[in-house]
A and B are shown apart, each in its own frame.
Chain A
Amino acid sequence: MSDYIGTSVKRVEDQRFITGRGRYTDDIVLPNMTYACFVRSPYAHARINGIDTEEARNRPGVVAVFTGQDIVDDGINPIPTGWQIGEDMKEPPHHTLAVDKVRHVGDGVAVVIAETKAAAQDAAEHVHIEYEPLPAVADMNEALADGAPLVHDDAPNNVSFHWELGDKAAADAALAAAHHITTYEIVNQRLIPNAIEPRAVIGDHNVATDDLTLYTSSQNPHLIRLLLCAFVTGLPEHKVRVISPDVGGGFGSKIFHYPEEVFCAWATRKIGRPVKWTAERSESFVTDAQGRDHLTTAEMGFDADGKIVGLRVDTAANMGAYLSTFAGGIPTWLYGTLLAGQYTTPAIYVHTQGIFTNTVPVDALRGAGRPEATFLLERLMDLAAKEMGRDPAGLRRMNFIQPDQFPYDTPVVLQYDSGNYEAALDKALDILDYDAFRQQQQQARAEGRLIGIGFSTYIEACGIAPSAVAGAIGARAGLYDSGMLRVHPTGKVQVYTGVHSHGQGHETTFAQLVAHHLQIPMEDVELVHGDTAQIPFGMGTYGSRSLAVGGSAIYRALEKVLGKARKIAAYKLEAAEEDLEYVGGQFTVKGTDRSVSFGDIALTAYVPHDYPIEELEPGLEFNAFYDPKNFTFPFGTHICVVEVDPDTGEVEILRYVAVDDVGEVINPMIVDGQVHGGIAHGIGQALFEGAVYDEDGQLLTGTFMDYTIPRAADLPMFEVDRTVTPCPHNPLGVKGAGETGTIASTPAVVNAVCDAVGARDIQMPMTSERVWRAIHAARSSGDGQA
């Protein structure tokens, strides 16, 4: 009944989704609700010389029309960023609606509120905005050039911040003395997140009570409430309730505090009616914070034996037009700290500059900094192996941190707690049957077929922690989480968590965790999340933190519940606490048949007629906050095998093997699902996805017709397996599984395609055209197998 940990329990949330009874923000209809339509800038950079709202106001069904000035005049502050990178970081204001200038295509300028969505859309066409177009910069190199147009007048050279980590002198010396240096210039292209549910918000102000309810498709309702109240509007936190109901995927893009949230919260108070906004997909393309977008030069030095001696990295990271909520933290602390990877590199130095351009803001996207770091390292390893004539698996293996070296201090701050990298590599090689594969590859090549293999042996740091460290590296928030257990008089349990599920299956996994430890049926446990009026303060879900941080908080609350239950049991059984054992949901006096069930204890706690009332309070309900001791460090090996069509350049993934170590696993089915989705996302970057802006800052890939996300026919069945190295510092031994696939897969695919066609590098996304050109370039230079 209670052996739930490690079991692939079917998900309890599924019933509502498979029957069409999910409740996403756009499904919610409130009495007297109005609809907002944003008028957005068609220019990447322009001065707003005038806005005429008169005609729009007079259109049928229009309730109100607002501009940025209306909001500023009402004392609403700009939306802050949540991560300070260095003392001198330039953080120009990001207003709810643009006031003086627009700075990217899609920047909001005015909003029409009407009785219906259609009426709002119609009237929006009649808002007349006088723009004076200004020169725009979309490209980072152009943004840095002398005399480039400035995105913000107070950010000279369009630089927001400089950041560095590691020992520059040591890295320089190591590279100067290296036997071999592999140099790699990387364009890690910009991605557009595209959760399938477009963002949606409803603001609902109750005029009588002055309470404000904000429904929003967010990954972290408490964080939104905190930013909205404490920084942007000054509204009292206790009068604001933020609800994130069912949320249709996030991948990072629904972490951030967006202008539309501020607007709906503000406008509902202005007009005294609920205000709803739901993004059209084409709006998502120009308003959801985008991901990646680095230009990097990396140099890795090796000694004569193939041991890495040093790594030097210089990265320009595109921030877009404004600093989004976590923006500065991504290409710095979540990136530079990962540059040791699985390797014993003794000297590392990384410098990053954050650059403003007239593009959509860039922030965390699935993996967030860690995919960029892993891409760089794993491409370097493959390039170096080719250049030095070594086996790519062998070169990695000889540079691995060994199991007896943990805890391991890297030269880039992190202390890895545990790991066994070779075990994961061996398992992946085994599943693939590496030696046999190499023979088949030889044979295939002899027949003129282009078959390639790519490796990625990656590390991830997730569950950012502890709060003191997060603070020291500039995060303007703590990174603990909370879990509350409310045991009802009948022994049924509600669990309240500060983390949020938008596909991860927490309602199942967390119920398994609680039912397992309380030794009660899972059906007796229900998870509550996503509503600030119900849950204790928590930081939400991102960075694969839910189970490692939120689950550990629940575990702490479980300990408190069981501790008190034991005291009550001892009283009832007239025995000493230490003489009791808890088995099968019963406290039993050891060696006797005297026992009391968990349900009886709950009832006693709430009906305390015969109860040690002097020593114990009635009731059975506990909250716990958990601040992690360290990051967690999932790792693993991914191997991709591709075949490339020499005539068309089309890539087919023949096999994809993933061996991940995410520590202990509560629900293997759910973890595998997370890995599948993560791999698909990473393959998307390698083969299909890429945001393209023209030189005027127009987004050319602004719909699903121009921006390709992977479809079913693009992907193979994945071969996933695990090793289990428990995390030693959290009570569950878990690490996090939501991002491993994305972090690992992109370089594995690029390495495989480059191997297949004999190219040194192919720019992502590796479209057929690019691959075809690479085949022909390799042929004409005569250095390819083709």
Chain B
Amino acid sequence: MSQTIHVTVNGAAREAEVEPRMLLVDFLRQTLSLTGTHVGCDTSQCGACTVHVDGVSVKACTMFAVQADGSAITTIEGLAGDGALHPLQAAFREEHGLQCGFCTPGMIMAAADLLARNPSSSEGEIRHALEGNYCRCTGYHNIVKAIQNAAGQMS
């Protein structure tokens, strides 16, 4: 039943045998031990599982691992690339955009996708872009500020 998939995860080529029903998020967390990508729901609402697949943000709980065959995946662990912080990571710390940290990887990955598409997003655009990412701790105030801060850094 298992299928072999080839993916590039955070720049490294990976080959794995996966069950067809295995979700991408479980593949990342269980098979690859990349536990920075979280699971916060079972209805694809919370966004805690957000990663990039071929450069586009995707909820990793909405996709099977086999569907990612041949793709390049970036998770929070690989976002910064060279080891320094990505501007969004730095901005989340700078603006206190996280409390418990559980939503944070997904928030940062979703925000990175937004800023790649629209680097000069307004507050309203940022808030709407986060529609699929829940945070129960921050009231979003400082998350929005962090994304604005990073947008400023990156432009």
Binding site for B on A (CB under 8 A): 10-11, 13-24, 26-27, 29, 118, 194-198, 246-249, 251, 280-282, 502-505, 669-670, 672-674, 676-681, 703-705, 709-713, 715, 717-718, 741
B48 on interface, CB distance cutoff 8 Å = yes
Contact A196 B48 (CB under 8 A): yes
- Enumerate chain B residues within 8 angstroms of A505, measured Cβ to Cβ: 99
Which of A20, A502, A505 counts the most B-chain CB atoms under 10 A from its CB? A20
B104 on interface, CB distance cutoff 8 Å = yes
Chain B nearest CB, measured from A238 CB (Å):
31
Contact B77 A196 (CB under 8 A): no
Once the chains are docked, how many angstroms separate the CA of A176 from the CA of B101?
54
Taking CB atoms and an 8 Å cut-off, the chain B residues in 99-151 that contact chain A are: 99-105, 108, 123-124, 126-128, 130-131, 133-144
Chain B nearest CB, measured from A765 CB (Å):
16
- Enumerate chain A residues within 8 angstroms of B93, measured Cβ to Cβ: 10-11, 14-15, 18
- Enumerate chain B residues within 8 angstroms of A198, measured Cβ to Cβ: 39-40
Chain A nearest CB, measured from B104 CB (Å):
5
- Enumerate chain B residues within 8 angstroms of A249, measured Cβ to Cβ: 99-100, 102, 136-137
Contact B77 A20 (CB under 8 A): yes
Chain A nearest CB, measured from B44 CB (Å):
9
Please provide the 9 A-B residue pairs with the shortest distance between their CB atoms, ordered closest to farther: A20-B36, A248-B102, A17-B101, A680-B139, A503-B100, A503-B99, A20-B76, A676-B139, A27-B35
B57 on interface, CB distance cutoff 8 Å = no
Given contacts A14-B101, A20-B37, 6 further A-B contacts (CB under 8 A): A14-B98, A18-B108, A246-B100, A503-B99, A677-B136, A712-B133
Which residue of A is nearest B105, CB measured?
Answer: A20
**Would you list 15 pairs from A and B whose C-beta atoms are within 8 A, ordered by A residue?**
A15-B93, A17-B98, A20-B77, A26-B39, A196-B135, A248-B100, A248-B103, A670-B96, A672-B96, A681-B139, A704-B43, A705-B43, A711-B134, A713-B130, A717-B144
Binding site for A on B (CB under 8 A): 19, 21, 29, 33-43, 45-46, 48, 75-77, 80, 85, 89-90, 92-94, 96, 98-105, 108, 123-124, 126-128, 130-131, 133-144
Contact B138 A673 (CB under 8 A): yes
Chain B nearest CB, measured from A749 CB (Å):
13
Once the chains are docked, how many angstroms separate the CA of A261 from the CA of B39?
20
Partner of A19, one of B80, B94, B138: B80
- Enumerate chain A residues within 8 angstroms of B46, measured Cβ to Cβ: 196, 281, 704
Once the chains are docked, how many angstroms separate the CA of A197 from the CA of B101?
9
- Enumerate chain B residues within 8 angstroms of A678, measured Cβ to Cβ: 139
Partner of A29, one of B33, B34, B45, B134: B33
Partner of B130, one of A17, A502, A704, A711: A711
Chain A nearest CB, measured from B86 CB (Å):
9
Chain B nearest CB, measured from A352 CB (Å):
28
Which residue of A is nearest B88, CB measured?
Answer: A18
Chain B nearest CB, measured from A529 CB (Å):
14
Which residue of A is nearest B143, CB measured?
Answer: A712
Chain B nearest CB, measured from A321 CB (Å):
23
Chain A nearest CB, measured from B115 CB (Å):
15
Chain A nearest CB, measured from B66 CB (Å):
15
Which residue of B is nearest A23, CB measured?
Answer: B35
Once the chains are docked, how many angstroms separate the CA of A249 from the CA of B137?
7
- Enumerate chain B residues within 8 angstroms of A21, measured Cβ to Cβ: 36, 77
Which residue of A is nearest B48, CB measured?
Answer: A196
Once the chains are docked, how many angstroms separate the CA of A649 from the CA of B94?
38
- Enumerate chain B residues within 8 angstroms of A10, measured Cβ to Cβ: 93-94, 96
Partner of A197, one of B33, B38, B138: B38
Once the chains are docked, how many angstroms separate the CA of A677 from the CA of B140?
8
Which residue of A is nearest B78, CB measured?
Answer: A20
- Enumerate chain A residues within 8 angstroms of B142, measured Cβ to Cβ: 673, 676
Contact B102 A197 (CB under 8 A): yes
Once the chains are docked, how many angstroms separate the CA of A19 from the CA of B92?
11
Contact B102 A24 (CB under 8 A): yes
- Enumerate chain B residues within 8 angstroms of A13, measured Cβ to Cβ: 101
- Enumerate chain A residues within 8 angstroms of B100, measured Cβ to Cβ: 195-197, 246-249, 502-503
Contact B40 A281 (CB under 8 A): yes
- Enumerate chain A residues within 8 angstroms of B19, measured Cβ to Cβ: 118
- Enumerate chain B residues within 8 angstroms of A17, measured Cβ to Cβ: 98, 101, 104-105
Partner of A711, one of B34, B77, B96, B131: B131
User: Beyond A17-B104, A20-B37, A196-B46, is A677–B139 a contact (Cβ under 8 Å)?
Assistant: yes
Which residue of A is nearest B99, CB measured?
Answer: A503
Partner of B96, one of A11, A196, A280, A705: A11
Contact B39 A248 (CB under 8 A): no
Once the chains are docked, how many angstroms separate the CA of A678 from the CA of B99?
12
- Enumerate chain B residues within 8 angstroms of A197, measured Cβ to Cβ: 38, 40, 100, 102
Which residue of A is nearest B109, CB measured?
Answer: A20
Which residue of A is nearest B106, CB measured?
Answer: A196
Partner of A704, one of B38, B103, B134: B134
- Enumerate chain B residues within 8 angstroms of A502, measured Cβ to Cβ: 100
- Enumerate chain A residues within 8 angstroms of B92, measured Cβ to Cβ: 14, 18
Contact B96 A19 (CB under 8 A): no
Chain A nearest CB, measured from B122 CB (Å):
12
Which residue of B is nearest A281, CB measured?
Answer: B41
- Enumerate chain B residues within 8 angstroms of A669, measured Cβ to Cβ: 96
User: Beyond A196-B135, A677-B137, is A22–B101 a contact (Cβ under 8 Å)?
Assistant: yes
Which residue of B is nearest A28, CB measured?
Answer: B35
Partner of B136, one of A27, A281, A709: A709
Contact A712 B144 (CB under 8 A): yes
Which of A246, A704, A705 counts the most B-chain CB atoms under 10 A from its CB? A704
Contact A194 B141 (CB under 8 A): no
Once the chains are docked, how many angstroms separate the CA of A23 from the CA of B35?
8
Chain B nearest CB, measured from A312 CB (Å):
35
- Enumerate chain A residues within 8 angstroms of B135, measured Cβ to Cβ: 196, 712
Chain A nearest CB, measured from B136 CB (Å):
5
Which residue of B is nearest A684, CB measured?
Answer: B136
Once the chains are docked, how many angstroms separate the CA of A504 from the CA of B100?
7
User: Beyond A10-B93, A197-B102, A704-B45, is A715–B77 a contact (Cβ under 8 Å)?
Assistant: no
Contact B40 A22 (CB under 8 A): no
- Enumerate chain B residues within 8 angstroms of A741, measured Cβ to Cβ: 139
Which of B33, B41, B105, B124 counts the most A-chain CB atoms under 10 A from its CB? B41
